[in-house]
Structure 1
Amino acid sequence: MSAQPEITQHDLRNRSRQIMDAVQDGQSFTLTRDGHQIGELIPLRRRRRFVQGSEFAAMSRTASGVSLEASRADQDATADQETDDPYCR
């Protein structure tokens, strides 16, 4: 387990609101029971929905190129090529 603040089962029960607020603010804790580490209480990673245009452009400059032909070949190799689907006629 990592070097983060430890909280006991007793602390978690009695100070749950304060601890949850700290987790919401990004703090992680190691949970202990009877002096033994038993788990971690960590904030969930939040997915960003939007990326600034400048950040996207910066990330795109370092991205590897994509070959349309190689991508199509990969799709063809893995896709089911059966034509028994009535909507594909």
Structure 2
Amino acid sequence: MKVMSVQPEITQRDLRNRSREIMDAIQGGQSFTVTRDGHPIGQLVPLRRRRRFVSRQEFAAMSRTAPAIDLEAFRAYQDATADAYLDDPYAR
């Protein structure tokens, strides 16, 4: 297996012969570039799993780096949107 600066390259033959080891590495978060005849032909990357819970500490940390909200502009947007839907949904 040839190692690059960011993600390792594996040959098509490596993928065929070491598929279980490579799939285990992918499941563990590792990505690979697959090569054929020395040329990159594809990437194997782990699927991102959706998280259902964010801890209070993580939410606070993300919130500190979030962009500031212009409350007046936000309120104006809400008012404009709400006014567009003032019709009675049961009158249809």
TM-score range, shorter chain: 0.5 to 0.7
* Stretches of structure 1 lacking an aligned partner (at least 5 in a row): none
Query: What CA distance in whole angstroms lies between the structure 1 residues aligned with 2:32 and 2:8?
Result: 5
Q: Cα RMSD (Å) of the superposition?
A: 3.1
| Larger mean Cα displacement after TM superposition, 73-82 or 27-36 | 73-82
Relative to structure 2, which stretch is displaced further, 31-40 or 54-63? 54-63
Indicate yes or no: 2:18 matched with 1:15.
yes
Larger CA deviation: 43-52 vs 10-19: 43-52
Distance 1:81 1:8, change over 3 A: same
Q: Secondary structure at the match of 1:7?
A: strand
**Correspondence 1:1-89 to 2 at 5 A:** 3=5, 4-63=7-66, 64-65=68-69, 67=71, 69-77=72-80, 81=84, 86-87=89-90
Q: Provide the C-alpha distance between the structure 2 equivalents of 1:82 and 1:46, rounded to a whole number of angstroms.
A: 36
Shift of 1:36: 0.8
- Distance in 2 (alpha carbons) for counterparts of 1:22 and 1:70: 47
**TM-score of the two chains, using structure 1 as the length reference:** 0.67
Tell me how far 1:38 sits from its aligned partner: 1.1
State the percentage of identical aligned residues: 74
Structure 1 residue 13 displacement after superposition: 1.8
- Quote the Cα distance in structure 1 between the aligned partners of 2:46 and 2:11: 18
Deviation at 1:22, TM superposition (A): 0.4
Separation (CA, whole Å) in 1 of partners of 2:16 and 2:70: 53
- Mind listing any 5+ residue stretches in structure 2 that lack a counterpart? none
